[in-house]
Amino acid sequence: MIVGGWNTNKLVQIYDINRKSFKPLKSTLYERDGSTIVKINNHVYTAGGLRSNFVECLDLNQVDGDWYKLASMNEQRQFAASAVLNDQMCVAGGSDGVNALSSVELYNPVVNIWTNIASMQTKRWQHALVSYNGRLYTFGGGEKLLILNHLNSMKSYDPREGKWKSLKPMNEGRHGLCSVVYNDEIYAIGGDGLSVERYNIRTNTWTNVNSLKHERYGSCACVVNGKIYVIGGGYGDASKSIEAYDATINEWKIETNMETARDDALVVAL
């Protein structure tokens, strides 16, 4: 499912990777430019965006139905990052329109409540956040809005300890990257460039893999049927393309082209 993006008029589509076809769904209630998205127990949740702390949900049991509003986040967040932690939606960092944020919020869908957990040690926006084996991992992004510094640092959060700790930094700084967990490793994809690297959680090391076909800034990614799919972002042809990575041959290839450019959009595997 691909949701929103810059100047897409709340567009929501499902992309069938086998047929390489797109199916439109009901539009979101709010513009979703630089928002966040997760899937929990057959529901899709999207939060934040430009000057927004609004949250909405789609029940996949009624995939052709309407999106509905939920409790708002405590802070407005654009260009934040999200992941699922213990069946809750975690949203970290982002921009409130004036400053980058280090705060982190956790949404419990059972009681429809947001609560703050320990803040990241660094302010981050246009960064990455993934969850693996009950822990969060955040990396990359920028620390200030007006100065595009490209962070390469990585931190992990263990909810049992309630604090963040430093891990091996990436080989290069990445702002506007996207990320997935794939074959038990974490991939840092693009961000003002073609390069891609993966993190081995057991050995705490980063290794470069083959580069993208297009430079991608503000793209989004998910894993389906054993491949990584990266959607939009970047400039020109890149913003309308989807490319896929096959780890068995360490190769990226253009999968298809979309009719609508997708910059700072959202994607979740169904």
**Where is 25: in which H helix or E strand?**
none
Structure tokens at 40: 């929990």
Q: What's the total number of domains in the chain?
A: 1
Q: Quote the CA–CA distance of 59 and 42 in Å, as a whole number.
A: 7
Residue 5 has pLDDT above 90, yes or no: yes
**Where is 201: in which H helix or E strand?**
none
Residue 202 is predicted with a pLDDT of 97
Q: Quote the CA–CA distance of 222 and 39 in Å, as a whole number.
A: 12
Residue 79 sits in which domain range?
2-267
Domain CATH number, residue 124: 2.120.10.80
Long-range pairs for 254-262: beta carbons < 8 A, 24 or more residues apart: 254/213, 254/214, 255/17, 255/20, 255/229, 256/20, 258/22, 258/231, 258/232, 259/22, 260/8, 260/11, 261/5, 261/7, 261/232, 262/2, 262/5, 262/8, 262/219, 262/220, 262/231, 262/232, 262/233
Residue 148 has pLDDT above 80, yes or no: no
Residue 86 has pLDDT above 90, yes or no: yes
Structure tokens at 3: 């949701």
pTM of the model: 0.97
Residue 257 has pLDDT above 90, yes or no: yes
Residue 192 has pLDDT above 90, yes or no: no
CA diameter of the chain = 46
